[in-house]
Structure 1
């Protein structure tokens, strides 16, 4: 910790101040002193009131953002997920934003949480790269999300969850609508078949009766 002091947001009426550009050393610990002063032209010989923020160390206290899932496929017994690192407010000399991987490097890893669709049992996988490949049941669909993790931290180890996505490989009507709808459809089908058989039998009997009457001799002939 040093005593180097930098001034930001001088003579502003705003209640927020972006100090990212003065927190270049992310492993350093910082505090902010906020002074409340009168506008220019007003004589005030008293020391202006001020507040001191809590200590803040960007490297250990910054909350990791949501990873962005770029692509995912489920082929056979493999689920592959490709994602992108969240960006930070810090920039490179060319103005592009640094990602959390640029800041945390080998301290950063990601966890993939995945489970069978319509099931509550989760599994987890870990990687330091930007992709996952895990073994799954080829006959089932899976849902999943990704989370950044800093294992070396005591607090704020887990970042924000990505969007939850689900595969749709091999999805059947039973998967979509459940067993109840399947049973209803089966009952309706059986009823239609039964009705068709009954109508066929009745029609056949009527045709036989009509043919028998036509073969009978006319009375009095």
Structure 2
């Protein structure tokens, strides 16, 4: 009888604790402003506010994949979820759970905020291509560049590039123009090289960006650094007409000063020679 009574009290106490835990979880604030930030498939989930007296746990839900937990019991407001999005063509939703301790979310699902849907293949931003080499010879401008790398690896440990993932969907655009001119031309390639016909009497500047024409959003990526060729560049091309004029004015001033000084010295010598030829007074 005593054992049954003790068991009933334990059951009653457990139910009471369960209700208190559930009530405590419902009072916890939920995250707001949940956003995805992804470049070359490295994906960071961000939200607000900074927690006080509770923690966050991130759950990644795919349409066909199992739910994955990331950044468990964190006090941060961002989480690197790259590893949970390896199936880049899947569409994911993130839940930012608000929890008080390691055990409380076992009683009942804690309050959470949901992100917008995210498909890495369609939405990650394409990073900057790296220009490896460029030459301008005669009437040809040749450019060699490298695909941006992703955080994902092959079995041999080397990193996959965006080309390894996008394959034939990936293109690159080249924008080029005559140095000190504003008129741009463009060209497209599916390889890692450009060969462009140019005017061999002019230098050219250019940059490259990756593009996925099949996308509805984020079609074009980040721009590479701007480079300029220097074939046949003169001082006037390099520094501009204004600096050339300043140099000419300075040169004329120096020559004029030299002439004036020469004239003054010459007059002084003549005056000294005339004084030496005059007879001495009293002789």
Ranked by relative contact order (alpha carbons within 8 Å, sequence separation 6 or more), the top structure is: 1
Shift of 1:111: 0.6
Shift of 1:19: 2.5
Shift of 1:182: 2.9
Query: Are 1:15 and 2:77 an aligned pair?
Result: yes
Partner SS state of residue 160, structure 1:
coil
Counterpart-to-counterpart distance in 2, 1:151 and 1:99: 18
- Residue equivalent to 2:231: 169
Unpaired segments of 5 or more residues in structure 1? 211-221
Q: What per-residue deviation string (whole Å, max 9, x for no partner) do you get for residues 23-60 of structure 1?
A: 22221111112212121366995641111111001111
Counterpart-to-counterpart distance in 2, 1:40 and 1:180: 71
Counterpart-to-counterpart distance in 1, 2:144 and 2:110: 53
Unpaired segments of 5 or more residues in structure 2? 1-61, 274-283
TM-score, L = length of structure 2: 0.64
Counterpart-to-counterpart distance in 2, 1:183 and 1:38: 73
- Residue equivalent to 2:123: 61
Q: Pairwise CA RMSD of aligned residues? A: 2.9
* Aligned length, in residue pairs: 206
Shift in alpha-carbon separation, 1:50–1:170, aligned structure 2, 3 A: same
Q: Is the 8 A contact 1:8 1:17 kept in 2?
A: no
Q: Which has the higher helix share?
A: 2
TM-score, L = length of structure 1: 0.80
Q: Which has the higher strand share?
A: 2
Shift of 1:187: 5.0
Query: Are 1:182 and 2:244 an aligned pair?
Result: yes
Q: Is the 8 A contact 2:91 2:119 kept in 1?
A: yes
- Residue equivalent to 2:196: 134
- Residue equivalent to 1:102: 164
